[in-house]
Amino acid sequence: MSTYKAIIVSDLHLGTKDSKAEEFIEFLEKHPTELLILNGDIIDGWALNRGAKWKKKHTKVISKLLKLSNKTQIIWIRGNHDEFLQEFIGSHFGGIEVREDYKIQYLEHIEYDNWKERCYYIFHGDIIDVFITKYNWLSKLGSIGYDLALWANRQYNKYRKWRKLPYQSISQKIKTSVKTAVSYVNDFEVTALKMAEKQGCDGVICGHIHQPEDRMIDGKRYLNSGDWVENMSAILIDRQGHISLYK
């Protein structure tokens, strides 16, 4: 029997140096699930177009997913970095179904042995990002800047490792300290929940901004699965219907 009813992951960015491919395979092996939702940016087509090298460890992830799809339902939701999936929406690759978005409905166990029907709207998140929807070229420029930040991150943490100091993320510090970045994240969260409400759902599960989160906003639950570049995070739904953030 599977340990979880559903697991939602996003932003693996396979094809980039910083993708935690081996750690993700280990995570899948330790967390069996009935349903696996790949919530966008699983393969980084933008980076590959810029000349990034596809490695054997990235192929191993795809092989693992295809093998897993024989016994596990897998939904792959299109992101902006794997936008090449757009023309395949509604199709299947082996046992993997390609979707634009997805609704997950289940009975959640509440205290005193009561159960309540829950609905969560799941989508990558790029469609509410103004820089994606209106200024695609600017978003790709920003992606290059993020790559540079990750390169600096690698060099900085090599030095910290040599000094026997723990890992520290430069880009995460920037995101949480720059006022405009914090404001952007807040606007993103509120807009995502408005989209979920229009879909008749109690909450939303996104990716895209690489910020793992689980919080209530005006009585609605906002969840973000984060990424497998820096945070190695995911959303887990157990067999009693409880949702938790894995990080």
Question: Residue 234 above 80 pLDDT?
Answer: yes
Per residue in 141-167, pLDDT (tens digit) is 455 556 666 666 677 667 777 778 777
CB atoms within 10 A of CB 162: 8
Higher pLDDT among residues 142 and 195, named by residue:
195
Q: Of residues 124 and 105, which shows the higher confidence score?
A: 124
Ramachandran angles phi, psi of 91, nearest 5°: -95, 175
pLDDT at 137: 47
- Higher-pLDDT residue of 149, 222: 222
Banded model confidence at residue 68, pLDDT cuts 50, 70, 90: very high
Using CB atoms within 10 A of its CB, is residue 185 exposed (0-12), middle (13-18) or buried (19+)? middle
Q: Are 193 and 204 in contact (CB under 8 A)?
A: yes
The yes-or-no verdict on residue 237 having pLDDT over 70 is yes
> In this model, does residue 138 exceed pLDDT 60?
no
Whose structure tokens read 């810029």? 50
Could you give phi then psi for residue 63, rounded to 5 degrees?
-60, -40
Q: Which whole number is the average pLDDT over 89-104?
A: 93
Q: What percent of the chain clears pLDDT 70, i.e. is strictly above it?
A: 81
| Sign of torsion over alpha carbons 30, 31, 33, 39 | negative
Q: Write down the mean pLDDT value for the chain.
A: 85
Tell me the two tokens of residue 141.
């420029």
Q: Does the structure show a pLDDT above 60 at 100?
A: yes
Instruction: Give the Cα separation of 230 and 170 in Å (integer).
Output: 10
Q: Which of 94-108, 150-164, 188-202 has the lowest mean pLDDT?
A: 150-164
- What does the DSSP 8-state code read for residue 85? G
How far apart are alpha carbons 27 and 5 in whole angstroms? 16
Higher per-residue confidence, 136 vs 199 = 199
pLDDT category of residue 246 using cuts at 50, 70 and 90: very high
- For residues 241 and 57, the model is more confident at 57
238: left (phi over 0), alpha (psi -120 to 50) or beta: beta
| 8 Å CB contact between 236 and 203 | no
Residue 124's closest CA among 133, 114, 113, 135? Answer: 133
For the cut 70, the answer to whether the pLDDT of residue 247 exceeds it is: yes
Three-state secondary-structure class, residue 66: helix
- Averaged pLDDT for residues 207-220: 93
Sheet arrangement for strand 234-238: 92-93, 96-99, 73-77, 33-39, 4-9, 234-238, 243-246
The tokens of 36 are what?
């696996």
